[in-house]
Every structure is written in C-alpha cells, then in structure tokens.
Amino acid sequence: MPFTNDEIASTLREVSKLMQLAGENRFKVIAFDKAAQTIEGLQEDINEYIQNKNLTDIKGVGKSIAEDIYALEKTGQMPVLEDFKEKVPEGLVEWLNISGLGPKNAYKIHKELGISTIEELKEKIDDGSVASLSGLGQKSAEKIKKSIEWMEKFDERCRLDEAEAIAIPIFESLKNLDGVQQIEIAGSFRRGLETIGDIDILIAAEEDRISELFDVFTSHERVTEILGRGDTKSSVRTKEGRQVDLRIVKPQEFSAALMYFTGSKEHNVVLRQRARDRGMSLNEYGLFKLTDDGDTDFDAPVEFSSENDIYQKLDLHFVPPELREDRGEFEIYEEQEDFELVTDEDIRGVIHAHSTWSDGKYSIREMAEACIERGYEYLGLTDHSKTAAYAGGLSVDEIKQQWEEIDELNKEFKETGKDFVIFKGIESDILADGSLDYEDNVLEGFDFVIASVHQSLNMPREEMMERMRNAIKNPYTRILGHPTGRLLLKRNGSDLDLNELVALAAEYNTAIEINANPHRLDIDWRFGNKALEVGMMTSINPDAHTTEGIDDIPYGVRIARKGKYGKDRVLNTKSAEEVRKFFEAR
C-alpha cells in the first residue's frame, strides 16, 4: 500500500528527533521538521508527486529529503532514519520530553555514562554521575531530576483551556504593576494551538523594574517551584505541573521579542530570510542593517514601533498570530491587507447543544435562556439519536414530544417579544455503512441533522472513508460533527483522508463543524488550506452539555482563525433566517 501524507510526515519527524539527539546541525533538523509539517498539511496526495518524481516542487522539500522519500516509497524504509536508529538508542528519544535537558546534554550524558533510559538517568543523577560531567554540575542534575518527576506526573503538553486557566491569572497579576509598559502572553498560546507546552509571558520594562516584577511573578499563588531566575528571565513550575517563563525586555525591543517568542520557528525562519534578502537582520532584539560582509550591524538599528512596522519593513502586511505557522500566510499577506478572519463578536448563534432529553444537564428552556443571556439569536438543539442509548438517545416518540416542547417555547419567545428561535436538530449517529440511524420520514422532520460517529472509530481507513462519504452525501446531513472523534492528549482520531472529505463536503454543500469543546477542537485547523481552496463551510459548535459549555465557543473561534476561516464561511455568524435557508438547501 502507498504511504499516506501523515505516514511520510511522521517518518520525517522521527528523523528530526533522532538528529537532535545525535547532535546534528540544527538547520538539518529544522529542514526535516519543516518538510514534515508541509507534507502533513499538503492538500494533494503526495503519491502523485512521488510517481511524477517532482517532490522538490513542494515548498520545503529539498533534493536530499526528496530522495529519502523516494527510497521510503520504493523499499519501505528511509535510509537516513535507519542510520540514525543505529546511532541513537530508542529510549533516548524520551529524554527530549525532559524540561531543562536539551539534545546536546542528552547526548553528552548518554555517550559519557553509557545510559539510554530514563530509569538509568535517574540512577545516575542519584549517584552523582550526572553532576560530575563537565558543563552540568549538581544544580543542573537536580533540575533534571525534578523535571523527570513532573514529567512522570503530568503530560508533556496540556489543552488550550488548561493553559488559559494558568496563564490568564498570572498575566492579570502582572499587567497593571508599576513599570509594566507592555505585556503579552506569547508562544503557542498566542498562536492558538490546541495543545500547549510551556507558557511564555513577555514584558517591556526598564531595567530598574525587573527585580520587583520577578518578585511578584515568582511569588504567585500558583507557583510551587522557582526553576530559575536570571537578569532578564525567570521560570517557575505551577501546581498543575506547567512551566511558565517570564522574559523582561527593553521597551524598544518588545515588538521584535514578541514576534520572536510568539513563533512559530518555521514562520520566524522565513521572516529572518526575508530580512536578509532586504539587507537586514531580524532577531529577538530588533531589526538591524547588515554590514558589507553580511553580518548584523548592531550599531545600525532599523526603527520600528510595533510588529506591524516590522512586517511592513519586510514587505508584508500584518500576519495575525494564529496564522504564523508557515502554511501559506506569506503568500496571502504579501498581497492582501484585509484577509479577514472570524472573531468572537461575529458569532450570532449556538449550534450543537444537548438538553436533559438526552445527556445534557439542563432543560431546553434553560439552554435557550443561557444563549439569550449571552446575546445569541438562536439555538440549534441536537440531542443524541437512538443508537446512542448510553447517552439517552431519543426514540421516535420522544422526538415528537421534544418537537412539541420546542414549538411551545418558540411561540412563547415570539409572543413575549424575544427575537430568538430554537431549531429542531438531532446529532444522528453514523452507522457502520454510513447511513443515519432514523428512517427518512423521521429525518425530514428535523430542521437540520448533525451526523457524527461515536462508535467503531478504529475501522480500517477505506471502510471509514466510505462510511463518512455516505454520511456527507446523505441529503439530510447538514453538518458533519467532530469528524475524527479525537480527544486531545487522550485518544487519536479515526484514520481518514480529511482533504478528500473536505472537498466532498464542499461539493455536497455540507458543513464540517469545528467542535469547540477544548477536549476535541475537531476538525483540525491544519486542513484549513484545503477548506479555503474548495470553499467549505464550517460551524463553530460548542457541543454543549451544560449552560457553561456554551462558553467554549471562543476556543473554536481560535481554531477557525488558525484554519483561515472568515465569517463568510462560518454558518453561525449568520442570521437565524440565513441559517434556516442553509438548513433547507439540502
């Protein structure tokens, strides 16, 4: 069987990891990582490029990596990967997850002490062997030991909502302090990634304020350990096991530092090259002219006052943080100043919510009133269907009773002057063959149907694809729910060719939701380029089982922004009447 895009991307990422542990040149490491990212988000089947021997036409895939992929396709193995597997013991890869232990020191410890597992590493820390190595010492050894303990207790990454619960209180405790001229949360949190590692906070302040700001930061109630405190950076561990870094820079450096520490590294690599192409050097300290020898002339700074200024110096319009992943944003913002992305304020209604009729915690009235309190104009109620018996799925008789309740509520809202409507929906299970779990004469009575898979998520790829194709083509399906069924950091999604399903959904005028529940955030933003190309509609849906769950919508908005969705392609930015017309356009 041919390799899929994801399988080839995964292989390249494995090479990148092993290269780090073997001490390879970091530009080689970045090259493999970038190629993996590009192929992972490729809208076409990579096998077309392999067959035509034109892999180098893909931006980010050089001649050497292309040859590696050709070899993989031909022999089932990638020679460069096999070489590094011989050089780097398997257990050593886990060491990359240890905070404070970089690839260089990991390889040093492995080579000099002859160990390759975390258990061996802990033993060598305890007997003093690690501390005795040059360049390490007792303090470093203790930090590594502490990081291992935290790693074994907590996941390497956390969900976006978990990171927010940590970052925002610390941010709030700092933002109004004397001396804070500017402050932002940077890193992957600012870019809106679905999972976050360390949390980065950046402050602009004068040097004489640094110590007192660090005092407040390191004494925050969430902090359980101070990992380090230097002249411009302090790092702490919170009670949730997350590392938070605070960097304080000079006010004139803030914009460049914010751009640098927001990332991504792939985006920054392109920015630095664009700067060099224009006779400048860009780094976290600022933008500088180059000398005649091509070196950074720190005595010749280029003036700027914001990130927007820096982008303009590089012949770009401002790139929103969510898009800084080197996935087509440069081509867009070279040409367009107003490539509008959806915002929280654009959302006009709530679609995909559950009530006590199935497994929700609140009545339909309570869910509707919660929507009204938040300023929304409609509620698309979608309790579970009969196959989901474990979730109180509705029988046909219960459906008819629910419809009567919705009719009565809509009548009451109208008579009392409330400009609000409840749509009769259902989250219908997609059966193994792709059919929905009610007869057509029942399905046609709903205003709309969300079709979702809840069982047999691990079907073989082609069987699962046929199942999803049939569901998308079903004339009653208006929205495909959480298409992969993934649970972030807990369960991988179904094996699907999402590029194909995105194109098919656009062809059949079926929306694929962005499930805003931070445990899901599914469909993945990485398929946004394909959705943009084919004009696929989405709907940012909270999948709310409580009134509080409605407030998950902003997480979905962040993912939609990363996926390049404007409000024109988000169903629930539209009026109730426009949404009704979409539902009726089967």
> Which of 318, 324, 357 has the alpha carbon at shortest distance from 338?
318
Return the H-helix or E-strand segment holding 185.
Answer: strand 182-185
**DSSP letter string, 202-222:** EEE--GGGHHHHHHHHHT-TT
Q: What is the pLDDT of residue 59?
A: 82
Residue 525 CA to residue 558 CA, distance in Å, equals: 9
Domain boundaries 158-249, corresponding CATH code: 3.30.460.10
Q: What is the pLDDT along the chain (586 residues), one digit of tens a residue?
A: 678 888 899 899 889 888 888 878 878 888 898 888 788 777 788 999 999 999 999 888 999 999 999 999 899 899 999 998 888 877 787 787 786 777 778 888 988 898 888 889 999 999 999 999 988 889 889 888 888 887 776 667 899 999 999 999 999 999 999 999 999 999 999 999 999 999 999 999 999 999 999 999 999 999 999 999 999 999 999 988 899 999 999 999 999 999 999 999 999 999 999 999 999 999 999 999 999 988 899 999 999 999 999 999 999 999 999 999 999 999 999 999 889 999 999 999 999 999 999 999 999 999 999 999 999 999 999 999 999 888 889 999 999 999 999 999 999 999 999 999 999 999 999 999 999 999 999 999 999 999 999 999 989 999 999 999 999 999 999 999 999 999 998 888 899 999 999 999 999 999 999 999 999 999 999 999 999 999 999 999 999 999 999 999 999 999 999 999 999 999 999 999 999 999 999 7
Residue 515 CA to residue 493 CA, distance in Å, equals: 13
Question: In the CATH hierarchy, which fold is given to the domain comprising 90-153?
Answer: DNA polymerase; domain 1 (1.10.150)
- Whether residue 116 contacts residue 108, with contact meaning beta carbons closer than 8 Å, is answered with no
Q: What is the pLDDT of residues 120-134, one digit of tens each?
A: 999 999 999 999 998
Domain ranges of the chain: 5-87, 90-153, 158-249, 260-335, 344-584
Size of the chain, expressed as the number of residues it contains: 586
Q: What is the pLDDT of residues 485-526, one digit of tens each?
A: 999 988 888 999 999 999 999 999 999 999 999 999 999 999
Tell me how far apart the terminal alpha carbons of the chain are, to the nearest angstrom: 36
Using alpha carbons only, how large is the chain's radius of gyration in Å? 26
3-state secondary structure 142-172: HHHHHHHHHHHHCCCCEEHHHHHHHHHHHHH
CB atoms inside a 10 Å sphere around CB 464? 23
Q: What is the pLDDT of residue 102?
A: 75
CB atoms inside a 10 Å sphere around CB 188? 21
Superfamily grouping for domain 344-584: Metal-dependent hydrolases (3.20.20.140)
Classify domain 260-335 at the CATH class level: alpha beta
- pTM equals 0.79
Q: What is the pLDDT of residue 154?
A: 63
The angle at the Cα of 214, spanning 211 to 217, to the nearest 5 degrees, equals 160
The residue type at 107: Y
Q: What is the pLDDT of residue 519?
A: 95
Classify domain 5-87 at the CATH class level: mainly alpha
Instruction: Indicate if 90-153 has the same CATH topology as 5-87.
Output: yes
- Strand 233-238 to strand 223-229: parallel, antiparallel, or no bridges (unpaired)? antiparallel
- Whether residue 327 contacts residue 532, with contact meaning beta carbons closer than 8 Å, is answered with no
Residue 181 CA to residue 510 CA, distance in Å, equals: 48
Residue 194 CA to residue 516 CA, distance in Å, equals: 10
